[in-house]
Amino acid sequence: MPRHKSPTRRRMLRAEVTRTVRTSPSFVTLTVQGPDLADFDPMGVDQSCRFFFRRDGQRELAMPTASHNGWLAQFMLMRPAVRPWVRLYTVRAFRPEACEMDIEFVLHGDHEDHGDAGPASAFALHARPGDPVGLFPEGIGYLPTPAAPPQLLVGDESAVPALLSILEQSPPDLTADAYLEVPTGRDIRPVAAPTGVTVHWLPRDDHDHTAVPGQLALKTVTSSWKLLPGQRVYCWVAGESGLPTGLRRHLVKDQGVPKSDISFLGYWKHGKSSPG
Ligand SMILES: Cc1cc2nc3c(=O)[nH]c(=O)nc-3n(C[C@H](O)[C@H](O)[C@H](O)COP(=O)(O)OP(=O)(O)OC[C@H]3O[C@@H](n4cnc5c(N)ncnc54)[C@H](O)[C@@H]3O)c2cc1C
């Protein structure tokens, strides 16, 4: 089974922010809209996009224009003064009839003065209707194995948008254990999941903010989730890179899960800015 699928046809899409909603203390949802989104071809429930936005002080959003993979060379050749920021985000919801997309951002770092919040987190916190953005569709990693119908779904807060999208759009007969780690108990919300899904919210409630996201989920799943004898389970794990790599190692080595039944996606690295 492939572990990732990329779009075969894609181009740069321009849009603008039309709405911002503070979903909970650690999340903000931006709705973006524009006629270009008529060309967005959804591939699956954890699809991501490259999200382009202006740097501080830039009046215009200058965007690479090349389709397919040509954009990157064009992007690298842009003068630093005009080159936009770009980060990867999950498509939380897409409404083709309105050419509208929701993206849910984790707010991290010091939100009051930006601190080391990261440009995307700061942009989401301060975004206003009318802000121009760009989108370049990327692929999907949620590719359940037909031979392994039950599922184990695990993520830190950066994977919560993908996990919620997966659960909300699952077939009604899905059976799964879903572990969602979040910064605080106030980030827990109702989930519209099939009845066969057990949702385990894991709030860190770490008042010193010293814990590395994903480690609580890694520890919890490693110590409490067990593969039954003879069972095949499709596993999807995403978040800070220590979570997917650590959990995959455990599932393969200690529980005998075939590598082909695991999709593991490193979304970001603790202490390192994403390139772009
Ligand atoms: C396929 C894919 C889908 C993704 N979907 C989403 C999504 O839907 N929502 C979402 O919020 N993120 C998502 N991410 C993760 C997101 O791309 C990264 O968190 C990104 O680094 C954020 O950019 P930034 O500019 O805020 O911070 P950066 O400039 O990249 O990093 C600045 C500092 O913040 C730290 N940092 C980065 N992200 C986090 C975080 N989440 N929590 C705590 N510290 C962090 C870094 O280690 C660094 O020290 C996804 C990543 C991938 C690969």
Domain annotation covers residue 145: no
Q: Is the pLDDT of residue 158 over 60?
A: yes
Q: How far is the CA of 114 from the centre of ligand 1 (A)?
A: 14
Q: How far is the CA of 45 from the centre of ligand 1 (A)?
A: 19
pLDDT recorded at residue 211: 94
Helices 215-224 & 242-253 angle (0-180, nearest 10): 20
Q: Whose CA is nearest to atom 23 of ligand 1?
A: 120
Pocket test for ligand 1, best of 55, 143, 206, 267 (most atoms within 8 A of CB): 267
pLDDT recorded at residue 221: 98
Instruction: Mention every residue, 6+ apart, whose C-beta is less than 8 A from residue 100.
Output: 18, 31, 32, 33, 37, 94
Q: Which residues pair with 15 in a beta bridge?
A: 133
Q: Is the pLDDT of residue 219 over 90?
A: yes
Which atom of ligand 1 sits closest to the CA of residue 270? 47
Instruction: Mention every residue, 6+ apart, whose C-beta is less than 8 A from residue 57.
Output: none
Which atom of ligand 1 sits closest to the CA of residue 122? 26
Q: How far is the CA of 172 from the centre of ligand 1 (A)?
A: 31
Across residues 196-218, what is the average pLDDT?
94
Across residues 50-54, what is the average pLDDT?
98
pLDDT recorded at residue 123: 96
Q: Is the pLDDT of residue 134 over 80?
A: yes
Q: Whose CA is nearest to atom 21 of ligand 1?
A: 274
pLDDT digit string (tens) for 9-22? Answer: 899 999 999 999 99
Domain annotation covers residue 116: yes
As a whole number of angstroms, the distance between CA 217 and CA 194 comes to 22
Kind of pairing between the strands at 151-155 and 176-182:
parallel
As a three-state string, the secondary structure of 148-197 is CCCEEEEECHHHHHHHHHHHHCCCCCCCEEEEEEECCHHHCCCCCCCCCE
Find the CATH number of the domain harbouring 161.
Answer: 3.40.50.80
Angle at 66 between CA 49 and CA 47, to 5 degrees: 15
What's the number of domains the chain is made of? 2
Q: Whose CA is nearest to atom 8 of ligand 1?
A: 90
Domain end among 111, 137, 163: 137
Domain annotation covers residue 273: no
Domain annotation covers residue 143: no
Q: How far is the CA of 267 from the centre of ligand 1 (A)?
A: 7
Reference 105, options 50, 162, 28, 20; nearest CA is 28
pLDDT recorded at residue 110: 61
Q: What share of the chain is helix, strand, coil (3-state, %, to 5)?
A: 25, 30, 45
Alpha helix (H) ranges present in 101-159?
119-126
φ, ψ at 16 (rounded to 5°): -135, 155
pLDDT recorded at residue 148: 74
Across residues 58-82, what is the average pLDDT?
91
Q: Is the pLDDT of residue 170 over 70?
A: yes
Domain end among 137, 167, 196: 137
Identify whether residues 97 and 174 lie together within a single domain. Answer: no
pLDDT recorded at residue 116: 64
Q: Whose CA is nearest to atom 51 of ligand 1?
A: 267
Q: Outline where DSSP puts E strands in 40-170.
A: 48-53, 85-90, 93-95, 100-106, 132-137, 151-155
pLDDT averaged over the chain? Answer: 94
pLDDT recorded at residue 114: 41
pLDDT recorded at residue 276: 75
pLDDT digit string (tens) for 76-130? Answer: 999 989 999 999 999 999 999 999 999 999 999 765 544 467 999 999 999 999 9
Angle at 82 between CA 78 and CA 85, to 5 degrees: 90
Q: Whose CA is nearest to atom 22 of ligand 1?
A: 120
Q: How far is the CA of 158 from the centre of ligand 1 (A)?
A: 7
Q: Whose CA is nearest to atom 44 of ligand 1?
A: 108
Across residues 176-202, what is the average pLDDT?
97
pLDDT recorded at residue 209: 82
Q: How far is the CA of 268 from the centre of ligand 1 (A)?
A: 5
Between residues 137 and 68, the one the model is more confident about: 137
Q: How far is the CA of 24 from the centre of ligand 1 (A)?
A: 17
pLDDT recorded at residue 70: 87
Identify whether residues 174 and 111 lie together within a single domain. Answer: no
Find the helix or strand (DSSP H, E) in which 250 lies.
helix 242-253
Ligand 1: lining residues by beta carbon, under 6 Å: 48, 87-90, 104-106, 108-109, 116, 118-121, 157-158, 161, 213, 267-274
Residue 104 in 3-state DSSP? strand
> What residues make up the domain containing 76?
13-137
Q: Is the pLDDT of residue 185 over 90?
A: yes
pLDDT recorded at residue 113: 47
Find the CATH number of the domain harbouring 131.
Answer: 2.40.30.10
Tell me, what amino acid is at 116?
A: D
With 0-12 / 13-18 / 19 or more C-beta atoms within 10 angstroms meaning exposed / middle / buried, residue 198 is exposed
